[in-house]
Amino acid sequence: DAKTTQPPSMDCAEGRAANLPCNHSTISGNEYVYWYRQIHSQGPQYIIHGLKNNETNEMASLIITEDRKSSTLILPHATLRDTAVYYCIVRPFNFGNEKLTFGTGTRLTIIP
């Protein structure tokens, strides 16, 4: 399994863009990058995923480098409710979620 590396914690001012990096230097060609977040005491929540193109949805944007060895999750206008642990995960396309490894993620704190 490819593994990911994330900083353990980050701060971001409210209203600013939060940029969360993830390194996945051993990612394979058939592996997607997924992002989830977990707000305190709740179950994790899916945010976004991508293969090699940049992706955007109502929650965030995902920027994947051309060599696919790293990615950045962008929360364009962070609010206090975005304070959470963010998990970057790689997932093989042709396998089920039982192959996922969540790791310990990045604890993002939004500062008022």
Partner 1 sequence: IAGITQAPTSQILAAGRRMTLRCTQDMRHNAMYWYRQDLGLGLRLIHYSNTAGTTGKGEVPDGYSVSRANTDDFPLTLASAVPSQTSVYFCASSAPGTSEKLFFGSGTQLSVL
**78 burial type by CB count under 10 A (0-12 exposed, 13-18 middle, 19+ buried):** buried
Residue ranges in 81-100 that form contacts with partner 1 under rule CB under 8 A? 87, 91, 96-98, 100
Biggest CA pair distance of the chain: 42
Minimum distance from residue 12 beta carbon to partner 1 (Å): 22
Minimum distance from residue 46 beta carbon to partner 1 (Å): 4
Distance CA 34, CA 58 (A): 15
Distance CA 83, CA 64 (A): 23
Minimum distance from residue 107 beta carbon to partner 1 (Å): 12
Q: Which CB, 16 or 102, lies closer to partner 1?
A: 102
Residues that bind partner 1 (CB under 8 A): 34, 36, 41-46, 49, 87, 91, 96-98, 100, 102-105
